[in-house]
Amino acid sequence: MTLFRLECRTHIKTLVIWIVVVGVLTLGLVSLFPAMKDMGLQQMDLKSMPKDMLKAFNLSDMAALATIKGYFGYEYQYIVIATGIFAAMLGTNALAREEAEGTIGYLYAQPITRLSIVGSKMLANSLLYTVYWAVSMAIAFLGCILFKESGASVHGLFKSFAQLAFSGWVMGLTFLVFGFLLSSFLSTNKSATSLSLGVVFLTFILGVVGKMNDDFQALVFFSPVDTALPSTVFKNGIEWNYIVTDLIVIMVSCLLTFWIYKRKDLKV
């Protein structure tokens, strides 16, 4: 429990910074909706672009941009990608940081096992991510209520946001736990940020390729971001096949992390 509290205190400043930045960015994007709606962007001529490309970047239904759900669904996908990066960074830094900073010796001096170290850190970082995502969703929902078009259903928005909140939470946990798996191999956290960016953008690109070419459609299952794409969730609800895939990745990554870290030669 001491390690759990220590891990939370270590990242509290980073958590606040991310919440503030993402919150301000979200409100800024949503506040542009009335002006964008008046510009009639839903009538933009995109016929010259391939339909598969429009589908891959969630622009196949331009008319939906005239609604707050459609507009938010398109704009917020970039926040979802940033969320994946935040979660991955938490995970990839968690275990490697102790060796890099030399604090693993202090942990070893405590009556705590390696499995307890991994478990406490996973729980602490999962809590941090959950707080970040819950606050981010609350800010986004409030923004959509404030700037929605007249006649938009608040109940409908709440239902859609509840589905997005769950899907996004699972997506973030997938990147977080996979980050832990990567961290179990590392002895320094110098490459943690670049690894986090690489994992998130690589999986996102796999999802784009899968949606552009039917022959590679299976690649979408390697893209956790597609689990929580707001435009898809708002239109079709929760994609349970993606959720199940992410849960399998979480379970396997957890087990492998515990197994690898227990047998790892640590630099004390």
> By C-alpha distance, which of 30, 34, 37 is closest to 66?
37
- List, for residues 114-125, the tens digit of each pLDDT value: 888 889 999 999
Measured torsion, CA atoms of residues 41, 42, 47, 52, in degrees rounded to the nearest 10: 110
User: How much is the average pLDDT of 196-205?
Assistant: 89
Q: What is the pLDDT of residues 134-190, one digit of tens each?
A: 999 999 999 999 988 887 788 889 999 999 999 999 999 999 999 999 988 876 767
Q: Considering only residues 47 and 1, tell me which one the structure prediction assigns the higher pLDDT.
A: 1
Interatomic CA distance for residues 30 and 148, integer angstroms:
9
Nearest CA to 160 out of 68, 235, 67, 229 is that of 235
* Nearest Cα residue to 116 out of 1, 11, 8: 1
DSSP per residue, 208-221: HHHHH-GGGGGGGG
Across 194-206, average pLDDT: 88
Q: What is the mean pLDDT of residues 97-110?
A: 67
Q: What's the whole-number average pLDDT of the chain?
A: 84
- Give the pLDDT of residue 38: 62
- Other CB atoms closer than 10 Å to residue 149's CB: what's the count? 13
How many CB atoms sit inside 10 A of residue 208's CB?
19
**What pLDDT does 144 receive?**
92
pLDDT at residue 263 in the model: 81
What average pLDDT score do residues 19-33 get?
93
pLDDT in the model for residue 243:
94
User: pLDDT tens digits, residue range 49-80?
Assistant: 556 555 655 665 555 677 888 888 888 999 99
Measure the CA–CA gap between 144 and 65, rounded to whole angstroms.
13
- Given a cut of 60, whether residue 247 has pLDDT beyond it is yes
**3-state DSSP call for residue 49?**
coil
Q: What mean pLDDT is predicted for residues 33-49?
A: 60
Residue type, 88: A
Please state, in angstroms and rounded to a whole number, the distance separating the CA atoms of residues 83 and 210.
22
